[in-house]
Amino acid sequence: MFREIFDIYNWEEIKQSIYSKTSDDVEMVLNKSNRRTPEDFKALVSPAAIGYIEQMAQLSRELTLKRFGKNMQMYIPVYLSNECQNSCVYCGFSRNNNIKRITLSEEQIVQEIKEIKKFGFEHILIVTGENELKAGIEYFKKVLPLFKSEFAHVSMEIQPMMQSEYEQLIPLGLNTVLVYQETYNKNLYKNYHPSGKKSDFYFRLETPDRLGKANINKMGIGFLIGLDDWRTEAFFTSLHLNYLEKNYWKTKYSISFPRLRPAAGEFEPKVNITDKELVQLICAYRIFKEEVELSISTRESEVFRDNLIKLGITNISAGSKTNPGGYSTFKESLKQFEINDERSPEEIGEIIKHQGYEVVWKDWEKTYN
Ligand code: SF4
């Protein structure tokens, strides 16, 4: 399990070692012809690498074109429930927030699907809060087939589950699971996740292991940008990815870059990342792993997202609503967080095409299942 590797490392020592990387270290890693290691990754996310951003962007672009061609995969999230038993201090759906709680019924889900299908998507990302009773395994077993009959690719961002539960959902059409560690700083984790099942750091950390053992087709990992030093968080994510690829080599991987956005509860991020640093982070992952998918959501601004298209991103969301029923049945319900790019999927598709890229609505065949 990843825990055995993770526990060898010390957060402060890693941080110090990243911040002590020099220009020579960065150049050595950029000029390397063989595969880069997590140790190399430290140089790529170090402050010293910011002076090499142009070189990194060019290399990232070349590697992405070589592996993925000029293709951009489109996906859209659908929120099914804002019920949650956790109290993450940065989230509008925290159980401590006094909001109207909604879990969509099968009829309401069919309505949402009808609206979403008008945009042309074939890849759907199902999102729920973490509530075993309202949105647990029995609920997912009921609603997954509704999605599978309409979408080629079904991803889920839901509560971490047991291996046996994933094994029940995969035959129903589950292709991908996203599970972000939020922060890899074990000592701070509890401050951000004080109660509920999510307060168990190691249960979350080992979720990708359970997914790998269940033979999931693809999983997405990452951290929430804003909770602690992003360079150190990124190193631990790279270590995690490296471990998972070695141990569950049949599974594909993606990395996302969720940057904290305003939400109910008025949480202030502990650290900020500039747009330039976020570009550095994206390029660093691409240079580290040529084959990993890199995904950007509508948390980011229009201009910034447009500029990222050629830099290494392979998956992009569009037209997103972050509230349950947001497309049709409960348009005014509370959003998990504010989005930053409100353009329609069609508009975003045009921008991608304008940059010479193919807009990929369908990246999976049901028969592959
Ligand atoms: S981040 Fe997820 S688990 Fe935490 S309160 Fe929000 S919905 Fe619940």
Give 196 Cα–ligand 1 centroid separation in angstroms. Answer: 10
- C-alpha Rg value of the chain to the nearest Å: 20
Q: Cα of 274 to ligand 1 centre, how many Å?
A: 25
- Domain topology for 2-29+36-364: TIM Barrel (3.20.20)
Cα 192–Cα 195–Cα 197 angle in degrees, nearest 5: 105
Please spell the DSSP secondary structure of 73-138, one letter per residue: EEEEEEEEE---S---TT-TT-TTS-----B--HHHHHHHHHHHHTTT--EEEEEE-S-TTTSSHH
Report CA(87)–ligand 1 centroid distance (Å): 7
Tell how far the Cα of 91 is from the centroid of ligand 1, in angstroms. Answer: 6
Contact in structure between 341 and 300 (CB atoms under 8 Å): yes
Going by C-alpha positions, the residue among 293, 279, 302 that lies closest to residue 241 is 293
Ligand 1 nearest atom to the CA of residue 85, by list position: 8
Residues in contact with 119: Cβ distance below 8 Å, sequence separation at least 6, in sequence order: 76, 318, 319, 344, 345, 346
User: Which residue from 93, 126, 161, 335 has its CB within 8 A of the most atoms of ligand 1, so it is best to mutate?
Assistant: 93
The alpha carbon of 215 and the centre of ligand 1 are apart by a number of angstroms equal to: 26
Task: Please give the pLDDT value at position 367.
Answer: 65
Give pLDDT, residue 264.
61
Q: Please tell me the residue having the least CA distance from ligand 1 atom 4.
A: 88
For residue 71, count CB atoms less than 10 angstroms from its CB and return exposed for 0-12, middle for 13-18, buried for 19 or more: middle
**What is the distance in A from the centroid of ligand 1 to the CA of 129?**
5
17, containing H or E segment: helix 11-19
Pocket test for ligand 1, best of 88, 156, 180 (most atoms within 8 A of CB): 88
Domain ranges of the chain: 2-29+36-364
Helix (H) or strand (E) run with residue 146 in it: helix 137-148
Ligand 1: centre distance to CA 46 (Å): 30
**Up-side HSE of residue 183: CA atoms within 13 Å toward CB?**
24
For the stretch 2-46, pLDDT in tens is 999 999 999 999 999 999 999 999 999 999 988 999 999 999 999
State the residue for tokens 């599978």.
Answer: 148
Q: Which atom of ligand 1 is nearest to the CA of 84?
A: 8
Q: Any residues with Cβ below 6 Å from ligand 1, and which?
A: 84, 86, 88, 91, 93-94, 129-130, 198
Token pair of 292, please? 């990993």
Per-residue pLDDT of the chain (369 residues; tens, 9 = 90+): 999 999 999 999 999 999 999 999 999 999 998 899 999 999 999 999 999 999 999 999 999 999 999 999 999 999 999 999 999 999 999 999 999 999 999 999 999 999 999 999 999 999 999 999 999 999 999 999 999 999 999 999 999 999 999 999 999 999 999 999 999 999 999 999 999 999 999 999 999 999 999 999 999 999 999 999 999 999 999 999 999 999 999 999 999 999 987 666 678 899 999 999 999 999 999 999 999 999 999 989 999 999 999 999 999 999 999 999 999 988 988 888 888 999 999 999 999 999 999 999 987 776 666
- Ligand 1: which atom is nearest the Cα of residue 159? 3
| The pLDDT value given to residue 36 | 96
309 φ/ψ sector (left φ>0, alpha ψ -120 to 50, else beta): alpha
Mutate to test the pocket of ligand 1, among 80, 95, 198 (most ligand atoms within 8 A of CB): 198
Measure 199 CA to ligand 1 centroid, in angstroms.
Answer: 11
Q: Which atom of ligand 1 is nearest to the CA of 95?
A: 5
Say how many Å lie between the CA of residue 84 and the centre of ligand 1.
6
Sign of CA dihedral 352, 251, 221, 285: negative
Residues in the chain, how many?
A: 369
Which pLDDT belongs to residue 332?
A: 86
Check if the beta carbon of residue 176 is closer than 8 Å to that of residue 154.
yes
The pick from 81, 84, 90, 99 for probing ligand 1's pocket by mutation, whose C-beta has the most ligand atoms within 8 angstroms, reads: 84
At 140-159, the pLDDT tens digits run: 999 999 999 999 999 999 99
Pocket probe for ligand 1: among 80, 82, 91, the residue whose CB has the most ligand atoms within 8 Å is 91
Report pLDDT for 208: 98
| Closest residue by CA, ligand 1 atom 2 | 129
CA distance 318 to 77: 9
